[in-house]
Chains A and B, each alone.
Chain A
Amino acid sequence: MILDQLILPWLLAWLMAGLGAYLVAVLDRLMASGSAQVGSVWLAPLASAAWLMTQQATTTEAPDAPAWRLAPALYLALAAIGLALVPWSPTLVGVDLSTSLVLWGSLEALATVVIFLHGWSANSHLALIGAYRYVALGLSYLLISMFVLIGVALPAESLRLTEVVAAQASLWHVVSQPLGLPLFLVVGLGLTFWGPLNLADSADLSGGTAVERSGPPRLVWALARAAMLVAFSAIAATAFLGGWMGPWLPGPAWLLIKSLAVLVVLLWLGRRLPRLAPERCLTLMWVVLLPLSFVDLIWAGAVALWMA
Protein backbone atom coordinates (compact mmCIF):
# COMPACT_ATOMS: atom_id res chain seq x y z
CA MET A 1 0.00 0.00 0.00
CA ILE A 2 2.79 2.44 0.91
CA LEU A 3 4.71 1.39 -2.21
CA ASP A 4 1.94 1.96 -4.75
CA GLN A 5 0.16 4.86 -3.05
CA LEU A 6 3.06 6.96 -1.83
CA ILE A 7 6.35 5.99 -3.45
CA LEU A 8 5.10 5.26 -6.99
CA PRO A 9 3.32 8.61 -7.56
CA TRP A 10 6.24 10.42 -5.94
CA LEU A 11 8.76 8.72 -8.23
CA LEU A 12 6.64 9.16 -11.37
CA ALA A 13 6.04 12.84 -10.68
CA TRP A 14 9.59 13.82 -9.82
CA LEU A 15 11.21 11.76 -12.58
CA MET A 16 8.92 13.41 -15.12
CA ALA A 17 9.43 16.86 -13.59
CA GLY A 18 13.24 16.60 -13.52
CA LEU A 19 13.81 14.91 -16.86
CA GLY A 20 11.02 16.89 -18.50
CA ALA A 21 12.37 20.25 -17.36
CA TYR A 22 15.82 19.32 -18.72
CA LEU A 23 14.21 18.24 -22.00
CA VAL A 24 12.33 21.54 -22.25
CA ALA A 25 15.59 23.45 -21.86
CA VAL A 26 17.33 21.30 -24.50
CA LEU A 27 14.44 21.44 -27.00
CA ASP A 28 14.06 25.17 -26.60
CA ARG A 29 17.78 25.63 -27.32
CA LEU A 30 17.56 23.30 -30.34
CA MET A 31 14.67 25.35 -31.74
CA ALA A 32 16.65 28.54 -31.28
CA SER A 33 19.51 27.06 -33.32
CA GLY A 34 19.09 29.76 -35.96
CA SER A 35 20.71 32.23 -33.60
CA ALA A 36 24.27 31.92 -32.37
CA GLN A 37 24.79 29.03 -29.95
CA VAL A 38 27.49 28.99 -27.32
CA GLY A 39 28.60 25.52 -26.21
CA SER A 40 26.76 22.23 -26.45
CA VAL A 41 22.95 22.22 -26.55
CA TRP A 42 22.92 19.22 -24.18
CA LEU A 43 25.33 20.65 -21.61
CA ALA A 44 24.29 24.30 -21.65
CA PRO A 45 21.13 23.82 -19.45
CA LEU A 46 23.18 21.87 -16.90
CA ALA A 47 25.90 24.50 -16.93
CA SER A 48 23.48 27.37 -16.37
CA ALA A 49 21.72 25.39 -13.63
CA ALA A 50 25.05 24.71 -11.92
CA TRP A 51 25.96 28.38 -12.25
CA LEU A 52 22.68 29.44 -10.60
CA MET A 53 23.30 26.95 -7.78
CA THR A 54 26.61 28.64 -6.94
CA GLN A 55 25.11 32.15 -6.91
CA GLN A 56 23.91 33.97 -3.84
CA ALA A 57 20.14 34.08 -3.26
CA THR A 58 19.60 37.80 -2.81
CA THR A 59 16.53 39.23 -1.16
CA THR A 60 14.76 42.59 -1.19
CA GLU A 61 14.10 45.06 1.58
CA ALA A 62 11.15 43.78 3.64
CA PRO A 63 9.68 41.05 1.42
CA ASP A 64 6.69 39.01 2.61
CA ALA A 65 9.01 36.33 3.96
CA PRO A 66 6.88 33.13 3.82
CA ALA A 67 5.47 33.78 0.35
CA TRP A 68 8.85 34.99 -0.96
CA ARG A 69 10.57 31.79 0.22
CA LEU A 70 7.80 29.35 -0.70
CA ALA A 71 6.44 30.60 -4.05
CA PRO A 72 8.97 28.84 -6.37
CA ALA A 73 8.74 25.60 -4.39
CA LEU A 74 4.92 25.74 -4.37
CA TYR A 75 4.79 26.24 -8.14
CA LEU A 76 7.11 23.24 -8.58
CA ALA A 77 4.90 21.22 -6.21
CA LEU A 78 1.80 22.10 -8.26
CA ALA A 79 3.57 20.86 -11.42
CA ALA A 80 4.56 17.63 -9.64
CA ILE A 81 0.97 17.02 -8.42
CA GLY A 82 -0.19 17.49 -12.00
CA LEU A 83 2.34 14.96 -13.25
CA ALA A 84 1.23 12.47 -10.59
CA LEU A 85 -2.33 12.58 -12.00
CA VAL A 86 -1.30 11.45 -15.51
CA PRO A 87 -2.44 7.89 -16.35
CA TRP A 88 0.38 5.97 -18.11
CA SER A 89 -1.72 2.87 -18.75
CA PRO A 90 -5.06 1.56 -17.43
CA THR A 91 -3.23 0.29 -14.34
CA LEU A 92 -0.13 2.49 -14.02
CA VAL A 93 -1.51 5.73 -12.59
CA GLY A 94 0.24 7.81 -9.93
CA VAL A 95 -2.91 9.03 -8.20
CA ASP A 96 -6.18 7.67 -9.59
CA LEU A 97 -8.74 10.04 -8.06
CA SER A 98 -12.36 9.89 -9.21
CA THR A 99 -12.12 13.67 -9.72
CA SER A 100 -8.62 13.97 -11.19
CA LEU A 101 -9.79 16.30 -13.96
CA VAL A 102 -11.16 18.75 -11.38
CA LEU A 103 -7.96 18.46 -9.36
CA TRP A 104 -6.00 19.47 -12.46
CA GLY A 105 -8.33 22.47 -12.81
CA SER A 106 -7.68 23.42 -9.20
CA LEU A 107 -3.92 23.19 -9.79
CA GLU A 108 -4.36 25.80 -12.53
CA ALA A 109 -6.31 27.99 -10.11
CA LEU A 110 -3.72 27.58 -7.35
CA ALA A 111 -0.96 28.37 -9.87
CA THR A 112 -2.57 31.81 -10.30
CA VAL A 113 -2.31 32.35 -6.54
CA VAL A 114 1.31 31.17 -6.42
CA ILE A 115 2.43 33.30 -9.38
CA PHE A 116 0.69 36.32 -7.84
CA LEU A 117 2.38 35.71 -4.49
CA HIS A 118 5.76 35.30 -6.22
CA GLY A 119 5.50 38.81 -7.62
CA TRP A 120 3.61 40.43 -4.76
CA SER A 121 5.88 39.16 -1.99
CA ALA A 122 9.05 40.59 -3.55
CA ASN A 123 8.19 44.17 -2.49
CA SER A 124 9.50 45.48 -5.78
CA HIS A 125 7.49 47.47 -8.29
CA LEU A 126 8.24 45.57 -11.52
CA ALA A 127 7.57 42.23 -9.83
CA LEU A 128 4.31 43.67 -8.50
CA ILE A 129 3.18 44.78 -11.97
CA GLY A 130 3.98 41.29 -13.31
CA ALA A 131 1.93 39.74 -10.50
CA TYR A 132 -1.18 41.85 -11.07
CA ARG A 133 -0.83 41.40 -14.83
CA TYR A 134 -0.80 37.62 -14.40
CA VAL A 135 -3.92 37.67 -12.20
CA ALA A 136 -5.84 39.64 -14.83
CA LEU A 137 -4.78 37.21 -17.56
CA GLY A 138 -4.81 34.05 -15.41
CA LEU A 139 -8.52 34.35 -14.64
CA SER A 140 -9.33 34.29 -18.35
CA TYR A 141 -7.05 31.27 -18.95
CA LEU A 142 -8.85 29.47 -16.11
CA LEU A 143 -12.29 30.02 -17.61
CA ILE A 144 -11.21 28.82 -21.07
CA SER A 145 -9.53 25.76 -19.54
CA MET A 146 -12.60 24.95 -17.47
CA PHE A 147 -14.99 24.92 -20.43
CA VAL A 148 -12.58 22.90 -22.57
CA LEU A 149 -12.09 20.33 -19.79
CA ILE A 150 -15.84 20.02 -19.14
CA GLY A 151 -16.16 19.24 -22.85
CA VAL A 152 -13.63 16.43 -22.42
CA ALA A 153 -15.45 15.03 -19.38
CA LEU A 154 -18.88 14.99 -21.12
CA PRO A 155 -18.40 11.95 -23.41
CA ALA A 156 -16.61 10.04 -20.62
CA GLU A 157 -19.48 10.76 -18.18
CA SER A 158 -16.73 10.90 -15.58
CA LEU A 159 -14.18 13.29 -14.09
CA ARG A 160 -11.55 10.53 -13.85
CA LEU A 161 -8.68 10.91 -16.32
CA THR A 162 -8.45 7.14 -16.95
CA GLU A 163 -12.11 7.12 -18.03
CA VAL A 164 -11.54 10.20 -20.18
CA VAL A 165 -8.88 8.17 -22.02
CA ALA A 166 -11.11 5.11 -22.23
CA ALA A 167 -13.89 7.24 -23.80
CA GLN A 168 -11.53 8.02 -26.69
CA ALA A 169 -11.24 4.37 -27.77
CA SER A 170 -13.27 4.95 -30.96
CA LEU A 171 -12.24 8.51 -31.74
CA TRP A 172 -9.72 10.83 -30.11
CA HIS A 173 -11.05 14.10 -28.73
CA VAL A 174 -8.64 16.04 -30.93
CA VAL A 175 -10.87 14.95 -33.86
CA SER A 176 -14.29 14.89 -32.21
CA GLN A 177 -13.74 18.27 -30.48
CA PRO A 178 -11.56 20.17 -32.97
CA LEU A 179 -11.54 23.42 -30.98
CA GLY A 180 -10.49 21.78 -27.71
CA LEU A 181 -6.78 21.12 -28.19
CA PRO A 182 -5.91 24.50 -29.80
CA LEU A 183 -7.65 26.36 -26.96
CA PHE A 184 -6.00 24.12 -24.37
CA LEU A 185 -2.56 24.82 -25.90
CA VAL A 186 -3.17 28.56 -25.49
CA VAL A 187 -4.07 27.91 -21.85
CA GLY A 188 -0.83 25.89 -21.52
CA LEU A 189 1.32 28.74 -22.82
CA GLY A 190 -0.56 31.15 -20.59
CA LEU A 191 -0.33 29.10 -17.41
CA THR A 192 3.45 28.72 -17.75
CA PHE A 193 3.71 32.28 -19.16
CA TRP A 194 5.72 30.89 -22.03
CA GLY A 195 6.68 32.53 -25.32
CA PRO A 196 4.27 35.24 -26.49
CA LEU A 197 2.08 34.83 -23.40
CA ASN A 198 5.02 35.53 -21.10
CA LEU A 199 3.55 38.79 -19.84
CA ALA A 200 4.22 38.14 -16.14
CA ASP A 201 7.99 37.58 -16.35
CA SER A 202 8.46 39.51 -19.57
CA ALA A 203 11.42 41.54 -20.77
CA ASP A 204 9.44 44.80 -20.69
CA LEU A 205 9.30 44.34 -16.90
CA SER A 206 12.99 43.26 -16.71
CA GLY A 207 11.87 39.76 -15.76
CA GLY A 208 8.56 40.65 -14.05
CA THR A 209 7.77 38.55 -10.98
CA ALA A 210 11.29 37.05 -11.10
CA VAL A 211 13.11 40.40 -11.39
CA GLU A 212 14.50 40.20 -7.85
CA ARG A 213 15.27 36.47 -7.99
CA SER A 214 18.80 35.13 -8.08
CA GLY A 215 20.65 31.94 -7.26
CA PRO A 216 18.96 28.63 -6.35
CA PRO A 217 15.40 30.04 -5.97
CA ARG A 218 15.62 31.42 -9.51
CA LEU A 219 16.63 27.95 -10.70
CA VAL A 220 13.63 26.43 -8.87
CA TRP A 221 11.33 29.00 -10.48
CA ALA A 222 12.67 28.19 -13.97
CA LEU A 223 12.45 24.44 -13.24
CA ALA A 224 8.87 24.83 -12.01
CA ARG A 225 7.78 26.64 -15.18
CA ALA A 226 9.37 23.98 -17.38
CA ALA A 227 7.90 21.15 -15.27
CA MET A 228 4.47 22.77 -15.48
CA LEU A 229 4.82 22.88 -19.26
CA VAL A 230 5.63 19.15 -19.22
CA ALA A 231 2.66 18.41 -16.93
CA PHE A 232 0.48 20.40 -19.30
CA SER A 233 1.70 18.42 -22.32
CA ALA A 234 1.01 15.13 -20.54
CA ILE A 235 -2.50 16.21 -19.51
CA ALA A 236 -3.22 17.49 -23.04
CA ALA A 237 -2.03 14.17 -24.51
CA THR A 238 -4.29 12.35 -22.03
CA ALA A 239 -7.35 14.51 -22.58
CA PHE A 240 -7.17 14.96 -26.37
CA LEU A 241 -4.77 12.46 -27.96
CA GLY A 242 -6.01 9.21 -26.43
CA GLY A 243 -3.39 8.98 -23.66
CA TRP A 244 -1.89 5.50 -23.51
CA MET A 245 -3.83 4.13 -26.50
CA GLY A 246 -2.04 3.06 -29.67
CA PRO A 247 -0.94 -0.05 -31.58
CA TRP A 248 2.24 -2.20 -31.09
CA LEU A 249 3.96 -0.19 -28.36
CA PRO A 250 3.05 -0.45 -24.64
CA GLY A 251 0.86 2.29 -23.11
CA PRO A 252 3.53 4.32 -21.30
CA ALA A 253 5.59 4.56 -24.51
CA TRP A 254 2.60 5.98 -26.40
CA LEU A 255 1.91 8.49 -23.65
CA LEU A 256 5.57 9.60 -23.74
CA ILE A 257 5.50 10.01 -27.54
CA LYS A 258 2.24 11.97 -27.49
CA SER A 259 3.32 14.19 -24.59
CA LEU A 260 6.60 14.88 -26.36
CA ALA A 261 4.71 15.82 -29.53
CA VAL A 262 2.50 18.26 -27.61
CA LEU A 263 5.56 19.68 -25.85
CA VAL A 264 7.36 20.26 -29.16
CA VAL A 265 4.26 21.98 -30.60
CA LEU A 266 4.00 24.18 -27.48
CA LEU A 267 7.67 25.20 -27.65
CA TRP A 268 7.40 25.81 -31.40
CA LEU A 269 4.28 27.96 -30.90
CA GLY A 270 6.13 29.79 -28.14
CA ARG A 271 8.80 30.77 -30.67
CA ARG A 272 6.47 31.48 -33.61
CA LEU A 273 3.34 33.22 -32.28
CA PRO A 274 3.41 37.02 -32.16
CA ARG A 275 3.39 38.90 -28.87
CA LEU A 276 0.46 41.06 -27.83
CA ALA A 277 0.31 43.92 -25.36
CA PRO A 278 -1.25 42.68 -22.08
CA GLU A 279 -4.50 44.66 -22.45
CA ARG A 280 -5.00 43.51 -26.04
CA CYS A 281 -4.20 39.96 -24.97
CA LEU A 282 -6.90 40.21 -22.29
CA THR A 283 -9.41 41.41 -24.89
CA LEU A 284 -8.44 38.50 -27.17
CA MET A 285 -8.98 36.03 -24.31
CA TRP A 286 -12.39 37.33 -23.23
CA VAL A 287 -13.84 38.41 -26.57
CA VAL A 288 -12.54 35.73 -28.93
CA LEU A 289 -11.20 32.66 -27.13
CA LEU A 290 -13.72 32.45 -24.28
CA PRO A 291 -16.74 32.45 -26.67
CA LEU A 292 -14.86 29.85 -28.76
CA SER A 293 -14.61 27.68 -25.64
CA PHE A 294 -18.41 27.99 -25.21
CA VAL A 295 -18.76 26.80 -28.81
CA ASP A 296 -16.40 23.93 -28.04
CA LEU A 297 -18.51 22.91 -25.04
CA ILE A 298 -21.79 23.03 -26.99
CA TRP A 299 -20.14 21.07 -29.81
CA ALA A 300 -18.81 18.49 -27.34
CA GLY A 301 -22.25 18.09 -25.78
CA ALA A 302 -23.95 17.68 -29.17
CA VAL A 303 -21.36 15.11 -30.32
CA ALA A 304 -21.66 13.21 -27.04
CA LEU A 305 -25.45 13.05 -27.42
CA TRP A 306 -25.19 12.00 -31.08
CA MET A 307 -22.60 9.28 -30.42
CA ALA A 308 -24.39 7.92 -27.32
Chain B
Amino acid sequence: MTPSPATHIAFVVLAALAVLSGWRVFCTDSMVRASFFLLLSFIAVGGIMILLTAEYLGVAMFFMMAVEMMVMALFMVMFMMNPAGLNPMKMVHQERVAIVAGVAVFGVLSAVAVLGDFPDMPLPAEHAPVISLGRELLGDSMLIFETAGVVLLTTMVGVVVLSSRHGRYGRADEGSIPPGLEPGGEPAGQPKESEEEKGEEGGHAHQHHH
Protein backbone atom coordinates (compact mmCIF):
# COMPACT_ATOMS: atom_id res chain seq x y z
CA MET B 1 0.00 0.00 0.00
CA THR B 2 1.50 3.34 -0.98
CA PRO B 3 0.90 6.15 1.50
CA SER B 4 -1.64 8.82 0.58
CA PRO B 5 -0.61 12.47 -0.01
CA ALA B 6 -2.16 13.36 3.37
CA THR B 7 0.26 10.91 5.03
CA HIS B 8 3.20 12.53 3.25
CA ILE B 9 2.10 16.02 4.32
CA ALA B 10 1.56 14.85 7.90
CA PHE B 11 5.02 13.26 7.92
CA VAL B 12 6.76 16.41 6.64
CA VAL B 13 4.94 18.67 9.14
CA LEU B 14 5.61 16.33 12.09
CA ALA B 15 9.25 15.80 11.12
CA ALA B 16 9.82 19.57 10.82
CA LEU B 17 8.13 20.09 14.20
CA ALA B 18 10.27 17.39 15.80
CA VAL B 19 13.53 18.87 14.47
CA LEU B 20 12.59 22.49 15.20
CA SER B 21 11.45 21.86 18.77
CA GLY B 22 14.46 19.59 19.34
CA TRP B 23 16.70 22.45 18.23
CA ARG B 24 14.88 24.91 20.52
CA VAL B 25 15.72 22.69 23.52
CA PHE B 26 19.32 23.86 23.21
CA CYS B 27 18.51 27.52 22.58
CA THR B 28 16.30 28.13 25.57
CA ASP B 29 17.59 29.36 28.92
CA SER B 30 15.29 27.51 31.31
CA MET B 31 15.02 23.94 32.58
CA VAL B 32 11.24 23.99 32.38
CA ARG B 33 11.12 25.38 28.83
CA ALA B 34 13.79 22.92 27.67
CA SER B 35 11.78 20.00 29.13
CA PHE B 36 8.60 20.99 27.36
CA PHE B 37 10.28 21.73 24.02
CA LEU B 38 11.67 18.21 24.28
CA LEU B 39 8.13 16.97 25.02
CA LEU B 40 6.86 18.73 21.87
CA SER B 41 9.59 17.03 19.85
CA PHE B 42 8.66 13.62 21.29
CA ILE B 43 4.96 14.22 20.55
CA ALA B 44 5.83 14.88 16.91
CA VAL B 45 7.89 11.66 16.82
CA GLY B 46 4.93 9.82 18.38
CA GLY B 47 2.76 11.13 15.53
CA ILE B 48 5.28 9.78 13.01
CA MET B 49 5.18 6.39 14.77
CA ILE B 50 1.38 6.36 14.37
CA LEU B 51 1.88 7.07 10.65
CA LEU B 52 4.12 3.99 10.60
CA THR B 53 1.10 2.02 12.01
CA ALA B 54 2.86 1.56 15.37
CA GLU B 55 -0.39 2.76 16.95
CA TYR B 56 0.31 1.64 20.47
CA LEU B 57 3.92 2.82 20.62
CA GLY B 58 2.97 6.20 19.13
CA VAL B 59 0.18 6.87 21.63
CA ALA B 60 2.26 5.43 24.50
CA MET B 61 4.93 7.97 23.48
CA PHE B 62 2.52 10.87 24.23
CA PHE B 63 1.62 9.32 27.53
CA MET B 64 5.08 8.32 28.71
CA MET B 65 6.79 11.49 27.57
CA ALA B 66 4.18 13.83 29.06
CA VAL B 67 4.65 12.27 32.50
CA GLU B 68 8.38 11.85 32.04
CA MET B 69 9.08 15.44 30.99
CA MET B 70 6.83 16.78 33.76
CA VAL B 71 8.65 14.69 36.35
CA MET B 72 12.03 15.58 34.83
CA ALA B 73 11.25 19.30 35.05
CA LEU B 74 10.05 18.84 38.64
CA PHE B 75 13.14 16.93 39.75
CA MET B 76 15.51 19.37 38.02
CA VAL B 77 13.83 22.20 39.93
CA MET B 78 14.09 20.20 43.18
CA PHE B 79 17.78 19.43 42.77
CA MET B 80 19.05 22.69 41.24
CA MET B 81 19.69 25.93 43.11
CA ASN B 82 17.06 27.61 40.94
CA PRO B 83 13.91 28.48 42.87
CA ALA B 84 10.81 27.19 41.05
CA GLY B 85 12.79 26.97 37.80
CA LEU B 86 12.26 30.67 37.15
CA ASN B 87 15.85 31.89 36.90
CA PRO B 88 17.51 31.82 33.49
CA MET B 89 20.32 29.29 33.24
CA LYS B 90 22.60 27.99 30.53
CA MET B 91 21.35 24.68 29.20
CA VAL B 92 24.43 23.62 27.17
CA HIS B 93 27.74 22.41 28.59
CA GLN B 94 31.00 20.99 27.15
CA GLU B 95 30.15 22.55 23.82
CA ARG B 96 33.21 21.39 21.87
CA VAL B 97 32.72 17.71 22.76
CA ALA B 98 28.99 18.00 22.13
CA ILE B 99 29.48 19.57 18.68
CA VAL B 100 31.96 16.86 17.60
CA ALA B 101 29.73 14.08 18.92
CA GLY B 102 26.64 15.61 17.30
CA VAL B 103 28.27 15.99 13.88
CA ALA B 104 29.68 12.45 14.04
CA VAL B 105 26.34 10.88 15.01
CA PHE B 106 24.50 12.92 12.38
CA GLY B 107 27.01 11.72 9.73
CA VAL B 108 26.65 8.07 10.70
CA LEU B 109 22.86 8.16 10.89
CA SER B 110 22.43 10.01 7.60
CA ALA B 111 24.90 7.61 5.94
CA VAL B 112 22.73 4.72 7.14
CA ALA B 113 19.59 6.45 5.85
CA VAL B 114 21.05 7.38 2.45
CA LEU B 115 23.38 4.47 1.71
CA GLY B 116 21.55 1.67 3.53
CA ASP B 117 19.69 -1.01 1.59
CA PHE B 118 16.27 -1.25 3.26
CA PRO B 119 14.16 -4.38 2.76
CA ASP B 120 10.80 -3.90 1.04
CA MET B 121 8.47 -5.82 3.34
CA PRO B 122 4.80 -4.86 3.20
CA LEU B 123 2.85 -5.35 6.45
CA PRO B 124 0.73 -8.50 6.62
CA ALA B 125 -3.01 -7.82 6.41
CA GLU B 126 -3.70 -9.26 9.87
CA HIS B 127 -0.97 -7.10 11.46
CA ALA B 128 -1.90 -6.49 15.14
CA PRO B 129 0.66 -4.09 16.62
CA VAL B 130 -0.62 -4.20 20.22
CA ILE B 131 -0.70 -8.00 20.41
CA SER B 132 2.69 -8.51 18.75
CA LEU B 133 4.22 -5.87 21.05
CA GLY B 134 2.75 -7.61 24.11
CA ARG B 135 4.14 -10.98 23.00
CA GLU B 136 7.55 -9.40 22.46
CA LEU B 137 7.57 -7.62 25.86
CA LEU B 138 6.53 -10.72 27.83
CA GLY B 139 8.27 -13.23 25.56
CA ASP B 140 11.80 -13.17 24.20
CA SER B 141 12.64 -9.67 25.45
CA MET B 142 11.16 -10.14 28.91
CA LEU B 143 14.48 -10.39 30.75
CA ILE B 144 15.77 -7.16 29.19
CA PHE B 145 12.65 -5.15 29.95
CA GLU B 146 12.22 -6.52 33.47
CA THR B 147 15.88 -5.76 34.24
CA ALA B 148 15.48 -2.22 32.93
CA GLY B 149 12.27 -1.88 34.94
CA VAL B 150 13.91 -2.92 38.21
CA VAL B 151 16.88 -0.60 37.58
CA LEU B 152 14.53 2.32 36.88
CA LEU B 153 12.49 1.55 40.01
CA THR B 154 15.65 1.56 42.11
CA THR B 155 16.63 4.91 40.62
CA MET B 156 13.20 6.35 41.36
CA VAL B 157 13.32 5.20 44.98
CA GLY B 158 16.80 6.72 45.32
CA VAL B 159 15.72 10.03 43.84
CA VAL B 160 12.65 10.22 46.05
CA VAL B 161 14.78 9.49 49.13
CA LEU B 162 17.26 12.21 48.14
CA SER B 163 14.56 14.83 47.57
CA SER B 164 12.25 13.79 50.40
CA ARG B 165 11.24 16.14 53.16
CA HIS B 166 14.04 14.78 55.32
CA GLY B 167 16.49 17.04 53.54
CA ARG B 168 20.17 17.44 54.12
CA TYR B 169 19.65 19.88 57.04
CA GLY B 170 16.79 17.97 58.71
CA ARG B 171 13.08 17.54 58.14
CA ALA B 172 11.57 20.33 56.09
CA ASP B 173 8.37 20.54 58.11
CA GLU B 174 10.20 20.85 61.45
CA GLY B 175 12.47 23.67 60.35
CA SER B 176 15.92 22.89 58.99
CA ILE B 177 19.20 24.29 60.23
CA PRO B 178 22.26 24.88 58.03
CA PRO B 179 25.63 23.48 59.18
CA GLY B 180 28.22 25.62 60.92
CA LEU B 181 31.08 27.36 59.16
CA GLU B 182 33.63 25.14 60.96
CA PRO B 183 33.00 21.54 62.11
CA GLY B 184 30.82 21.56 65.21
CA GLY B 185 30.31 25.30 64.97
CA GLU B 186 27.09 27.23 65.29
CA PRO B 187 24.62 27.14 62.40
CA ALA B 188 25.73 29.66 59.80
CA GLY B 189 23.63 32.77 59.35
CA GLN B 190 21.14 31.93 62.12
CA PRO B 191 20.01 34.21 64.95
CA LYS B 192 20.94 32.94 68.43
CA GLU B 193 18.09 30.86 69.88
CA SER B 194 18.94 28.67 72.87
CA GLU B 195 21.96 26.99 74.44
CA GLU B 196 21.02 23.43 73.51
CA GLU B 197 21.16 24.28 69.82
CA LYS B 198 24.96 24.67 70.07
CA GLY B 199 27.45 21.91 69.51
CA GLU B 200 25.27 19.80 67.26
CA GLU B 201 27.29 17.97 64.69
CA GLY B 202 26.99 20.03 61.54
CA GLY B 203 23.25 20.52 62.02
CA HIS B 204 22.70 16.89 61.05
CA ALA B 205 19.69 15.04 62.54
CA HIS B 206 18.00 18.11 63.99
CA GLN B 207 14.85 16.34 65.07
CA HIS B 208 13.96 18.34 68.18
CA HIS B 209 14.17 21.85 66.82
CA HIS B 210 11.05 23.75 68.04
Contacts and interface: CB of A to CB of B under 8 A. Distances in A.
Contacts of A120: 32, 84-85
Given A102-B60, A113-B39, A139-B71, A97 B66 contact: no
Contacts, number: 62
A93 to B, nearest CB: 15
Interface in B65-83: 66-67, 69-71, 73-74
A58 B26 CA distance: 31
Given A64-B33, A113-B66, A102 B59 contact: yes
Contacts of A113: 36, 39, 66, 69-70
Contact of A112 (B59, B62, B67, B129): B67
A159 interface: yes
B55 A98 contact: yes
A158 B130 CA distance: 9
- A-B complex: 6 closest residue pairs judged by Cβ atoms: A106-B63, A109-B66, A106-B62, A99-B59, A102-B59, A110-B66
Contacts of A202: none
Residue of A106, A110, A135, A139 with most partner-chain B CB within 10 A:
A106
Interface in A90-129: 97-99, 102-103, 105-106, 109-110, 112-113, 116-117, 120, 123, 128
Interface residues of A, number: 25
Nearest to A5: B6
A199 interface: no
A266 to B, nearest CB: 23
B56 A159 contact: yes
Contact of B59 (A64, A67, A106, A138): A106
B86 interface: yes
Contacts of A109: 62-63, 66-67, 70
Contacts of A128: 84, 86
Given A132-B84, A135-B74, A159-B130, A112 B55 contact: no
B139 to A, nearest CB: 17
A142 interface: yes
A97 B54 CA distance: 12
A98 B60 CA distance: 12
B130 A98 contact: yes
Contacts of B55: 97-99
B33 A102 contact: no
21 contacts: A64-B33, A98-B129, A99-B59, A102-B60, A105-B63, A106-B59, A106-B66, A110-B62, A110-B66, A113-B36, A116-B70, A116-B73, A117-B36, A120-B32, A120-B84, A120-B85, A128-B86, A135-B70, A139-B71, A158-B130, A159-B56
Contacts of B32: 120
A112 B67 CA distance: 8
Residue of B56, B59, B60 with most partner-chain A CB within 10 A:
B59
A112 B59 CA distance: 17
Contacts of A67: 36
Interface string B125-153: 00001100000000000000000000000
A123 B88 CA distance: 13
